[in-house]
Amino acid sequence: MFSNAGPESWPMVGKDDRYLTVAPIFHIGGMGPPFVMLARGASVAVAEQFSTDRFWEVVRKTESTVVFLLGVMATFLLKRPPTPEDRQHKVRLAFMVPLTDDAQAFKERFNIDIYTIFNMTEISSPIVSEPNPKKRGTCGRARPGVEVRLVDEHDCEVPIGTIGEMLVRCDRPWAMNSGYNANPAATAKAWQNGWFHTGDGFRQDQDGYFFFVDRMKDAIRRRGENISSFEVEAEVCAHPDVREAAAIAVPSELSEDEVMIVVAAVPGRSIDHMSLSTFLMRRMPYFMVPRYIRILDELPKTPSAKVLKTELRKEGVTSDTWDREAAGLRTRRENLT
């Protein structure tokens, strides 16, 4: 836990900070902040849960200076109407995971420096960004003391720019998990060849920045093209009427998958299927544009605010799901000259 977010891993947090946690304590997002602050002799504020309407009230009441926001939380806060109180707080930095396209707008509106990271319960913050990263969608670069590789299914490194599974190891003994409780088979698989296998697909650029692509199990394959559900969701959430979105694979009548999105609207607004589809067709490659759209009041979530994609995949194409192709709106490959 010390290696996970101690002074070596998160040097941007100091002894004079107060860290607000809004995630359940059984989740690393809720359990981690108290350890972060204990390692510095600092303080932590604990909220019962995240509330879009009450978030800044809690921030001001607790005089917190550091907050951790899942990307969807930042989106919720940014899509609220601006108020004169937007900058009336003591927060100086926020961790935004993942880094959204609206990060710069969030910084400017709330006057907060933005950092992003990639982390898991099993590992120790291997990827950390500088303040206000400029590269769209990055998670940051490997921090000192950590080795990171992107590999194919045989654990062989992939070329720069190619998607591969992220493998991690640390130079400090016991700085990461030693295995899964009472599950030696899972431990052996995760630690194959002496590296921890995260199960997450990434790519890396020439400058050493890492970019999350998808959970390996969440990737969608449509007509020979590999599609990142994460990238689809980012484009869908760029629509001003969309509060949150989940992209899932559903069976195609032809072969492989079709792309389906499940969305919820910003309070006080409504989502028009046709308008959202045409919006996405202008922004996305033709093969990524979702065929199916389902609108819910709110997406099902775990107590740690992660969308329950397993539940959405199980329900699949429901009777209230809109079919873009049945509505006569089709996409096609275009040759640019």
CATH of the domain at 86: 3.40.50.980
Residue 126 lies in a domain: no
Q: Do residues 171 and 227 share a domain?
A: no
Angle at 236 between CA 333 and CA 290, to 5 degrees: 40
Same domain for 191 and 231, yes or no, is no
Does 337 reside within a domain? no
- Looking at residue 334, its pLDDT comes to 59
pLDDT at 5: 85
**233 and 266 within one domain:** yes
**For residue 277, is it within any domain?**
yes
Q: Is 201 within 8 Å of 214 (Cβ atoms)?
A: yes
On whether both 14 and 87 belong to a single domain, the answer is: yes
| 120 within domain boundaries | no
Task: Among 148, 183, 216, identify where a domain stops.
Answer: 216
Say whether both 43 and 141 belong to one domain. Answer: no
Per-residue DSSP letter, 301: B
Examine the domain organization and report whether 161 and 224 are in the same domain: no
Please report the pLDDT score of residue 150 as a whole number. Answer: 98
Same domain assignment for residues 107 and 175? no
Domain assignment present for 128:
no
Co-location of 99 and 157 in the same domain: no
- Residue 285: inside a domain: yes
Residues 203 and 236 in one domain: no
191/259 same-domain check: no
Could you read off the pLDDT tens digit of each residue along the chain, which spans 337 residues?
888 888 989 999 999 999 999 888 877 778 888 999 999 999 999 998 889 999 999 999 999 999 999 868 898 999 999 999 999 999 999 999 989 888 999 999 999 999 999 999 899 999 999 999 999 889 999 999 999 999 999 999 999 999 999 999 999 999 999 999 999 999 999 999 999 999 999 999 999 999 998 888 777 888 778 888 888 999 999 999 999 999 999 998 877 899 999 999 999 999 999 999 999 999 999 999 999 999 999 999 887 778 999 999 999 999 999 999 999 998 876 554 4
pTM of the model: 0.81
Check if the beta carbon of residue 203 is closer than 8 Å to that of residue 213. Answer: yes
- CATH number, domain with residue 170: 2.30.38.10
Residues 212, 223 share a domain: no
Tell me which residue range forms the domain holding 239: 219-323
Amino acid 336: pLDDT: 46
Count of structural domains, the chain: 3
Beta strands of the chain (E only): which ranges? 18-21, 43-46, 66-70, 93-97, 113-115, 117-118, 127-128, 138-142, 146-151, 164-170, 196-204, 210-215, 220-222, 225-227, 242-251, 257-265, 292-295, 322-323
